[in-house]
Amino acid sequence: MNESDFNNGLLEFLAGSPTPFHAVKQLKQLLTAEGFEQLAEHSSWSLKPGGRYFVVRNGSSIVAIRTGSVHPVDEGLRLIGTHTDSPCLKIKPAPEIRRQGFLQLGVEIYGGVLLSPWFDRDLSLAGKVTCRMENKEINSVLIDFRRPVATVPSLAIHLNRDVHKNRTINPQKEVVLLVSSGDGDRRSFRQLLLDQIQHEHANIPVAEVLDYEISCYDVQPPAVIGLNDDFIAASRLDNLLSCYAACRSIIDASGDTPAVMVCNDHEEVGSLSASGAQGPFLRSTLERLCGTGETMDRAMDSSVVAFR
């Protein structure tokens, strides 16, 4: 793959990955198109030499495997790790704020967010929604409003003359999404999500929204910029650039030496979750590839690991 093709693919990947769930969905599509087979954690695995596989946890973390032509004990693994999450604003569990005739949504700070860049931006919403279906089953769907539906307005300069002097931002009071005006729309946020699901997934019989993990994102698309096209400007470059590069690397690997790619969620908040980098996801997958105990230790001793 040449530089132009890589950059074009990266821009498309960035534009389609407003949340970790959407990033993993795209990684799955890239891997599937190259002959990787999806495995289920609850099923028995039969990994074959030269095989290409991937497994997903929580819809937001993914491990891809190339078994190679030799056992990991003999050659070790070539493992690359990265994360799918980025600093952002997430919608609170009970977000509705109605005052002065406006509907606003409260947000929580996820990861090490720079707050200033979120003001006066055209923001959209995307993420995973857990629902009860009409047949009483519980499933999750991904949504993406794909258009500006919110903003965090700045206070006009003549109402805050000291804005440039030792400014501090109170995230609970100042970083609040403005989504509509007027008192006519009395829908709850869950009802707004249900309406969006019916708009995006008309064939899915959703009866009720139970919970959600919804993030804000700037709708300005990623772009190559600079007089000589020297730079890529985009949200979530940390760490989706590494996710895309890792995915292309395992796709383009020779296939002789066993190789593993892991893209974990929750790096920004501590990594100890079931799908986080310090959680059990990677190790449980490696044990199914390499074996346990001494076999695992020998494989790891000969392995090369790169994390970003």
Query: Is the per-residue pLDDT at 308 higher than 80?
Result: no
pLDDT of residue 279: 92
Average pLDDT over residues 20-43: 97
Percent of the chain with pLDDT over 70: 99
> What's the pLDDT score for residue 42?
95
* Cross-strand pairs, 39: 55
Whole-model pTM?
0.94
Indicate if the pLDDT at residue 166 is higher than 80.
no
Q: What is the pLDDT of residues 116-153, one digit of tens each?
A: 999 999 999 999 999 999 999 999 999 999 999 999 99
Q: Where are the alpha helices (DSSP H) in 147-257?
A: 171-174, 189-200, 237-252
pLDDT at 307: 77
Residue 23: band (very low, low, confident or very high) from pLDDT cuts 50, 70, 90: very high
CA distance 191 to 209: 8
**Domains of the chain as residue ranges with CATH:** 3-86+236-307 (3.40.630.10), 88-218 (2.30.250.10)
Question: How confident is the prediction for the chain on average, in pLDDT?
Answer: 93
pLDDT digits (tens, 9 = 90+) for 236-249: 998 899 999 999 99
The pLDDT assigned to 184 comes to 62
C-alpha torsion angle, residues 109, 201, 132, 143 (rounded to 10): -10
What is the rounded distance in angstroms from the CA atom of residue 66 to the CA atom of residue 250? 7
The side-by-side arrangement of strands in the sheet containing 88-99 is 138-144, 123-133, 206-218, 88-99, 102-110, 176-181
- Banded pLDDT at 51 (limits 50, 70, 90): very high
CA-nearest of 235, 275, 257 to 74 is 257
pLDDT at position 100, please?
A: 86
193-219 confidence digits (pLDDT tens): 999 999 999 999 999 999 999 999 999
User: Which residues have a Cβ under 8 Å from the Cβ of 156 and sit 6 or more positions away?
Assistant: none
Per cent of the chain over pLDDT 90 is: 80
Residue with more model confidence, 183 or 38:
38
Give the pLDDT confidence score for residue 268 in this predicted structure.
85
Residue from 168, 100, 84, 153 nearest 123 by CA = 153
Q: What are phi and psi of 262, to 5 degrees?
A: -125, 130
Contacts of residue 47, Cβ cutoff 8 Å, sequence gap at least 6: 53, 65, 67, 288, 289
